[in-house]
Amino acid sequence: MHLDHLAYLVQKRMWLFFIPYVFISPIFYYYLFKAPSTPPEKIMPIAFVDANGNTRKLYCGKDDANDINMLALSEKTGKEMLNVLFSFPANKKETAARIATYSKYFSQERDSSIQNFLKSQAEKTLSLADSGASATFNITYISGGYDPKNKNYVVVSDLTQKLVRNGIETTKKFSVDIYLKMTAKDRKESEGIILEITSVKLRNIKNES
């Protein structure tokens, strides 16, 4: 084949190569010159003890704005629960109203472990309030994170609770792990509740006085 004839064929068929190049080259150069992505920044891991007594760590991606908002909401919900169940005035009626108002933030599944916990803790708190006792608490540590394995949020906290009954003050230290998950769409729309508490675990309980 003569070179002149070869050159003629190349010129004649050039459009077969040119058109794909026009469409493909921008994509090629985009990936060639774009800046490398940085790994997502991580919130400091927190440790918690799962149901089997194993210590695990939680992480939440700081690059996801939704994760950050949900993390803040989980801590806020956890603090409110601690305030309702572990501090109360010496007034049974007022204490009952506080618990009833906040109970909507717990999973509403009947006969679930969290409903049993709420009932048991409410009975203890109301009994103390009815006897004239009152309680306050101080959070010495609190942190939250997302557990990707179980797809829920966990808020870990350490508390010091002071109970005054019959003029005698007693102090108790303990840790509380609060597990939360996203509510169902219908509940979120009808009640405006985004996260609901599905489990609460008390541990490291120490009576100091």
Model confidence at 53, pLDDT cuts 50, 70, 90, reads low
Q: Closest Cα partner for 63 from 146, 155, 150, 153?
A: 146
DSSP 41-94: PBPPPEEEE-TTS-EEEEB-BTT-HHHHHHHHHHHHHHHHHHHHHH-B-S-HHH
Q: What is the pLDDT of residue 52?
A: 52
Report the topology of domain 46-207: Nuclear Transport Factor 2; Chain: A, (3.10.450)
Contact 58, 43 (CB under 8 A): no
Mean pLDDT of all residues in the chain?
A: 78
List, by residue range, all CATH 3.10.450.230 domains of the chain.
46-207
Dump pLDDT digits (tens) for 70-125.
888 899 999 999 999 999 999 999 999 999 999 999 999 988 999 999 999 999 99
